[in-house]
Structure 1
Amino acid sequence: MTSTHPILVFAGSARTGSFNKGLARLAADSIRRQGGDATFVDLRDYPIPLYDGGLEKESGIPENARALKKLLAAHQGLAIASPEYNGFITPLLKNTLDWLSRPDGDEDGLGLFRDKVAIVLSASPGGFGGIRSLGLARQLLLNLGMIVLPNQVVVPRAGQAVTDSGEFADKGMGERLDTACGALVRTLARIA
């Protein structure tokens, strides 16, 4: 049975071949296997300019940001794979969330986030798996009014973590992702 609480899944990377895009796709698959309704989006398909209050005043919310806002409004959960750039979240992730949180007409931008449930994930070629970015991603989502579950997944040495068939080489890593995604699906079902 498919959940009626859809979950939006994306990575804070636009790079083709991004480890975090791969992780986001694996998370969407895990959510679906557990009865959830996952929508994977690639931020590369939604280019938006760097947030600038002057640009917003002149031109309003960019169309691609409006399209993402519409997607977010239709989903009760988020699963975000956050790459780590120098110990922080990516500019792409921050910029995307900045635009999505802007008010638009009568719409309160923060209202799109309020009381939605999220998990954060990260993959990195390094030994820490991007864990330093997850605290910052978590803090940002909490500031926007989201409920962020304690379940998180880090994938160190991401270049070797996934097989050519698209599965984790380490069964335990796949189980950790399933645990986090399952917690998100179950939490959304309980809240309803």
Structure 2
Amino acid sequence: MGAKIAVLAGSIRKGSFNGRLAALGAERLRAHGADVTEIDLRDYDLPIYCQDTEAEAFPAAALALKDVLRAQHGLLVATPEHNGSISSLLKNAIDWASRPTDGETAVALSAYRGKVAAIMSASIGPFGGLRALIQLRQTLGTVQLLLLPEQVAVPFADRAFDADGRLVEPLPATLLDQMAQRLVRTAEALRG
């Protein structure tokens, strides 16, 4: 069995460009031998993170998401760019999965520590979500994920995909495939 890699998009909008990009990423990961878990954040009814909520009763959906991430060797994340940063939906999910459970210390970060991640974005703007990728790289590094230096930014996303959901331009498609291959190899190496 190949490395276990979760794929998620920081958007739940129907027809989301980052949802399409995440689906392509999952396909490429499978082609390189990964055991892929596709995470749809619609399936997790996460309240906005609040320490009071956490103290009263850790949300079952947050624990379920954390458990899925804990079982992985790597993570591939596609983020939209919202006002120069990642979506609040994605940040909230990252925050909840970072919280200690089951007697863990505050720095356990069991959903993330010792794992590898790759990041990508699709945006209707000319920079392909680069500002969001900078923020996502910082956030995921803070929760102790090892991030690949490669990233994929797809500009003009409203015309970047064909009717079948494939990338029209060969360059981002090639970069996505190379990044997926590196992610699988690195996750395999880290799992020992």
Task: Give the TM-score category using the shorter length.
Answer: over 0.9
**Structure 2: 5+ residue stretches without partners:** none
Instruction: Provide, for residues 60-98 of structure 1, a one-character-per-residue CA deviation record: whole Å limited to 9, x for no partner.
Output: x21111111110011010000011101011111111111
Distance in 2, Cα, partners of 1:73 & 1:190: 17
SS at match of 2:174: helix
Could you say which residue in structure 2 is the equivalent of 1:148?
A: 147
Instruction: Provide, for residues 102-145 of structure 1, a one-character-per-residue CA deviation record: whole Å limited to 9, x for no partner.
Output: 11122345122111000010000111110101111011111101
Could you say which residue in structure 1 is the equivalent of 2:72?
A: 75
Which amino acid in structure 1 is aligned with residue 80 of structure 2? P
Distance in 2, Cα, partners of 1:107 & 1:183: 31
TM-score of the aligned structures, taking structure 2 as reference length: 0.94
Query: What is the count of residue pairs matched by the alignment?
Result: 189
Alignment RMSD (CA, Å): 1.1
SS at match of 1:188: helix
Which amino acid in structure 2 is aligned with residue 7 of structure 1? I
**Structure 1: 5+ residue stretches without partners:** none
TM-score of the aligned structures, taking structure 1 as reference length: 0.94
- Contact residue 70 and residue 110 of structure 2 kept, 8 A: no
Structure 1 residue 34: Cα displacement? 1.1
Could you say which residue in structure 2 is the equivalent of 1:16?
A: 14
Could you say which residue in structure 2 is the equivalent of 1:94?
A: 91
Structure 1 residue 190: Cα displacement? 2.4
SS at match of 1:135: helix
Which amino acid in structure 2 is aligned with residue 76 of structure 1? H
Distance in 2, Cα, partners of 1:101 & 1:173: 31
Could you say which residue in structure 2 is the equivalent of 1:190?
A: 189
SS at match of 1:148: strand
Which amino acid in structure 1 is aligned with residue 136 of structure 2? A
Q: Which moved more, 1:105-114 or 1:149-158?
A: 105-114
Instruction: Provide, for residues 7-33 of structure 1, a one-character-per-residue CA deviation record: whole Å limited to 9, x for no partner.
Output: 000011121111111111110000001
Could you say which residue in structure 2 is the equivalent of 1:29?
A: 27
Which amino acid in structure 2 is aligned with residue 16 of structure 1? K
Could you say which residue in structure 2 is the equivalent of 1:53?
A: 51
SS at match of 1:154: strand
Distance in 1, Cα, partners of 2:135 & 2:65: 22
SS at match of 1:111: coil
Distance in 2, Cα, partners of 1:112 & 1:169: 34
Structure 1 residue 173: Cα displacement? 1.6
